[in-house]
Chains A and B, each alone.
Chain A
Amino acid sequence: MPEVKGLTIMVPKTTDAKALRKYLLGDLSSEGQEAFELWLMSEDEAYDLVLAAEDDLIDEFLAGKLSPTESQQFHDRFLIAPERQRKLEFSRMFREYADRKTVPATAALPAPTRSFWQELGAIFRLQPAFGAVSVALVLLMIGGSVWSGVTSSRLQNRLDSTTTVLHEVETQRQDLQLRLAEIQATSKQLASQLALMDEAVAELKSAGVSGGVIALSLSSILPRSSTNLPTAQLTPATRLIEFTLPLLDDNYPSYSVVLADDGGESLGNRQRRTAKSKDGVKVVVVTMPSKDLATGEYSFKLSGITSADSTEDIAEYYFRIR
């Protein structure tokens, strides 16, 4: 707070528009004026605010908003300064210009509301830097979206491709499972048949009915047309026929035997038969129920099963049933 030889000068910290207006119209008390002038001398923005208040007062005068007393003060005091007269002259012209450039407001209408786009436009016009930054940001966002879209599309394509492969693999897996199930079913069926036959053999053996089984040794050397084909003479007591198929060499871990009629049509088969030694000769033994064999000519087709599970034809054995 300033002091001159013990005199303390009070400086108002703020001033308001009303006080400014009164000061400009010379309507403040002497003390009020002096306090106001101290504020004007010391505050940074005070001078600019006084200039702005002068503009406002002139505008109010031109708009006819001043009271009669104020108008008188405006004439008698405010307009003494030539600079203010020039301001008034300019303001009149500027007001006319502004009225031409903007849509006049209707007093009865509520405060103007601007749309989002108008607000945005106003911000861009008033703050070009902000506008430039905003445009840059929007461009960046568009670029980012495009890049994101392209990347997303690529990823989607890859995902689609992977999904297709997975689908194919799944289909293959299902096919294999189906085939495995079929093989397992066949295997069970065969195992069941074998078990039944084994039971029958055991039953017969236990019953001591040796006549119920006929043993027939076959030869692969004899052709179908041979008159000396091995022949099984079935009797009503005959239940089973045990066929012995001699091997020239035992070169396979197991063998398969397919029974066919004289027309070559398959009637049944036996899988995974292993060779046995019989009287010093390697043979494959196959037992068939006699009821499955009617009178006629038949053949066994013998194949070797390799360790790689492939089959190789070895020989054919022809025989007759009577």
Chain B
Amino acid sequence: MSQMLKSSSALGFPGSRRYNGAQRKAVAPNGDLRRLRSLSSTYPKPDPDEITQDQLNLLLDWLDPDREKAGIRYEQIRRRLVKIFVCRASNVPEELADKTINRVARKLPEIRATYVGDPAHYFAGVAVNILRETVRKDRIPAIGMPESSPATDDREKDYSCLEKCMEKLDPGDRSLVLDYYREEGQAKIDNRRQLAEQLGIGLNALRIRACRIRSDLQACMEKCRAEGAEFAK
């Protein structure tokens, strides 16, 4: 029996923090969505788009016959869709990503038999359509530049957090991230080329590695900031 999911987010689970700062009311996920829901922070909100459990199952099967792999693929696609909407300057990128996924899920019975190729491309096409529909509707004015730094006390705390987070890094990663962001201009380019040679990897692989370390550092620092002084001790 199909179970109707009362959620605005795609398949009832993907929605997360809204860009205007509002949070959605959580709705308990059902069945195999519970595990997928744990992969992303979930703040569902009511949405006219509704899909059934059967539609969800069909979508996951389409992504991969193996349910575990399908879940991972689902998250990859959603993350990329969110990025696309962010790059298109949407102020509700996650909402639009969920809307895209819901629309694909509903459309799937029609196209599945004839569609050839990577399902991710189909999501991209639908995303473009949704963008066109929502253009100007959800845009927010350009924000003011966060020019000013936080108050001195907060700044000191943040700096202390950053130092703690740097210390938590693997020594190799710590060294890499500092070396990667050294120098300016041509010296920086030469420096990165030299680093990539030392590590025996390509420049793109080095960029990705440095970016991930930096991203981990940012997450650690934000967590530290949220937890307050206790963390920094």
Contact = CB atoms under 8 A, between A and B. Distances in A.
A16 B127 CA distance: 23
Nearest to A39: B124
Interface in A91-137: 92-98, 101-102, 105, 107, 109, 111-112, 114, 119, 122-123, 125-128
B152 interface: no
6 contacts: A3-B116, A76-B142, A88-B146, A90-B217, A98-B178, A102-B178
Interface stretch (B39-47, B64-72, B183-191): B183-191
B1 interface: no
A49 interface: yes
B105 interface: no
Interface of B: 19, 21, 76-77, 79-81, 83-84, 86-89, 91, 93, 111, 114-118, 120-125, 127-128, 139-140, 142-143, 145-146, 149, 155, 158-159, 162-163, 166, 170-172, 175-176, 178-179, 181-187, 190-191, 194-195, 198-199, 204, 207-208, 210-212, 214-215, 217-218, 221-222
A66 interface: no
Interface string A60-85: 00010000000000011101111111
A26 interface: yes
A86 B184 CA distance: 23
Contact of A98 (B84, B145, B181): B181
A242 interface: no
The dominant DSSP class at the A interface is: helix
Contact of A79 (B81, B118, B143, B204): B143
Contacts of B208: 45, 48-49, 51-52
A41 B121 contact: yes
B89 to A, nearest CB: 5
Interface of A: 1-5, 9, 11, 23-24, 26, 33-34, 37-38, 40-42, 45-52, 55-56, 59, 63, 75-77, 79-90, 92-98, 101-102, 105, 107, 109, 111-112, 114, 119, 122-123, 125-128
Contacts of A93: 155, 158-159, 162, 221
B143 A40 contact: no
Nearest to B174: A125
B184 A107 contact: yes
A51 B222 CA distance: 18
B175 A105 contact: no
B122 A4 contact: yes
A77 B81 CA distance: 17
B184 A38 contact: no
A38 B124 contact: yes
A92 B149 contact: yes
Contact of A86 (B86, B121, B222): B222
Contact of A75 (B122, B127, B145, B179): B145
A45 to B, nearest CB: 6
A122 B198 contact: yes
B187 A81 contact: no
A63 B185 CA distance: 10
Nearest to B217: A94
Contact of A109 (B124, B143, B159, B187): B187
B195 A126 contact: yes
B178 A55 contact: no
Contacts of A102: 178, 182
B212 A48 contact: yes
